Amino acid sequence: MKKSIIKEIYLNNEGLGEQVVLNKKYKKASDKAYKFYEQLMDELNDEQKKIFEDFTDSEMDASAEREFLHFKAGLKVGLLLAVECLI
């Protein structure tokens, strides 16, 4: 199985994770989302909670894949820029 250095970097297996600082804007948005999540969970019955949890899990999986694809595309552009600067 071929390992991808891009995926290793993205998954922070190369020690880069500590360099990403979550800013105030991110924290505010995250806190707001969690507040709505808690509010909604208080209103749902058990069956609805299960459906909503399945939905949010699927949405997070899709979001994580989208973020990786954007990271990968950005890294490729950066590498092309570096190569062009060397030519």
Check: CB of residue 27 under 8 Å from CB of residue 33.
no
In this prediction, residue 16 carries a pLDDT of 58
In this prediction, residue 51 carries a pLDDT of 97
Residue-wise pLDDT tens digits, 8-20: 777 766 555 566 7
Residue-wise pLDDT tens digits, 6-60: 777 777 665 555 667 889 999 999 999 999 999 999 999 999 999 999 999 999 9
With vertex at residue 69, the alpha carbon angle to CA 24 and CA 25, rounded to the nearest 5 degrees, is 10
Residue 10: CB atoms within 10 A of its CB come to 19
Q: Domain count of the chain?
A: 1
How far apart are alpha carbons 44 and 53 in whole angstroms? 11
Instruction: Reply yes or no on whether the pLDDT at 80 is more than 70.
Output: yes
Domain assignment of residue 30, given as a range? 5-86
